[in-house]
Structure 1
Amino acid sequence: MAFYILALVVLLVDQGSKWWVRTHMFVGEQRNVFIPYLHFEYYQNSGAAFSSFQGYGKWFAYLAIVVVGALIYYRIKGAIRGMVLELAAGFLAGGALGNALDRLMYGKVTDFLVWGSRSGIMNIADLAINAGVVLLIFGMLLRGWQEKRSYSFK
């Protein structure tokens, strides 16, 4: 159940934050926030990470839908089990759906989070995808370690 709840929360927070940026800022505008090393800068990305593949955003929306379908399929099959992998899949699904929704509705993704002195620009969905990847790697390593440990005690 954590998978579905987390995916929904990520999707809602992502879409809410993008809505706020689209309605309260103009493209290119920068705003300081009260978090060190972070500011908002409204950018519209019609491609993928690091502004690559500009103009091909809709293809990434379709890919995101396939990825979410695969996550649901493997979760139902039991391949995604345990809290770490449930959270990883929830972050991945929510982030993928958040950016896919932008691409399908607007033809581009709203980005606005800039860390440091311009290390790239992202949004909540991107943060969730990154968290999901880190948790997925950690969960797979943990599962491998647990299986190896239980095998060595037999």
Structure 2
Amino acid sequence: MKASYYKPFLLALLVIVADQAIKTWVRMHMYQSEEIHFLGDRGMLHYTENNGMAFGMELGGDWGKLTLTLFRIAAVAAIGYGIVYLVKHKYHRGLVMNGALIFAGAMGNIIDSTFYGILFQKDALGKSLGLFHGRVVDMFYFPLVSGNFPTWFPVWGGEDFVFFRPVFNLADASISVGVILILIFQNHYFKQEKPEEAEPHSEMVED
């Protein structure tokens, strides 16, 4: 592998290892729904597991779970190929590194959903969840603002709200940071060089 490939995949490896280390610590030292507050009521570890996508979103049923896991695997393969393509064609380094963050986040959650079901997790009857049916471990929770919608507010009038409500993990954060940075700097990353126009010139004609 050429030296230019090392940095993005090294970054991805570091994120994956850190993500799995945090998840392992949480699984071994906390019980589900337990909370460890480190920013008072505005930031905490909240151990939860989910069957679905980033930030706790889900597809229903066993088939939904299997479909999502297989989709993740295909997506990671496509992203990995995309990173190799970007490096080979000398795209902006920032774009490559952000692609590596997305790759790492997707891979981190694939490890959970692919292997956790046979290594650690069981159903209510104590039976292994099986390959491709593992639950993703989440733990970071930052309910920064909470309150109630005013009664006149459409749809949610009178109901309580929390921002930021989703519980997430380092893999989710890695994907989000990569996507957000690409959106912010897309004009810089995908800037195309305009070919220089030939200056008009005239020829001197001698009589």
TM-score range, shorter chain: 0.7 to 0.9
For the 8 Å contact 1:95–1:126, the answer to whether it is kept is: yes
Query: SS where residue 139 of structure 2 aligns?
Result: strand
For the 8 Å contact 2:50–2:137, the answer to whether it is kept is: yes
In structure 1, distance between residues paired with 2:182 and 2:105: 14
TM-score, with length taken from structure 1: 0.85
Q: Deviation string for 1:84-112 (max 9, x for gaps)?
A: 11111111111101100000112100001
In structure 1, distance between residues paired with 2:90 and 2:106: 17
Q: Which residue of 2 aligns with 1:105?
A: 115
Query: SS where residue 14 of structure 2 aligns?
Result: helix
For the 8 Å contact 1:48–1:54, the answer to whether it is kept is: no
In structure 2, distance between residues paired with 1:41 and 1:89: 28
In structure 2, distance between residues paired with 1:133 and 1:10: 15
Cα displacement (A) at 1:80: 7.1
Q: Which residue of 2 aligns with 1:53?
A: 59
Q: Which runs of 5+ in 1 are unaligned?
A: none
Q: Which residue of 1 aligns with 2:186?
A: 140
Q: Which has the higher contact order (CA 8 A, sep 6+)?
A: 1
Q: Which residue of 2 aligns with 1:88?
A: 98
Comparing both structures, which one devotes a greater share of its residues to helix? Answer: 1
Letter in structure 1 aligned against 2:85: K
TM-score, with length taken from structure 2: 0.65
For residues 1-150 of structure 1, what are the structure 2 equivalents within 5 Å?
Answer: 1-34=6-39, 37-49=42-54, 50-55=56-61, 56-78=64-86, 81-106=91-116, 107-117=134-144, 119-144=165-190, 146-147=191-192, 150=193
In structure 1, distance between residues paired with 2:188 and 2:75: 23
Letter in structure 2 aligned against 1:114: Y
Q: Deviation string for 1:24-64 (max 9, x for gaps)?
A: 00001011125883101100101224432244333323222
Letter in structure 2 aligned against 1:134: I
The aligned length equals 151
Query: SS where residue 141 of structure 2 aligns?
Result: strand
Cα displacement (A) at 1:17: 0.2
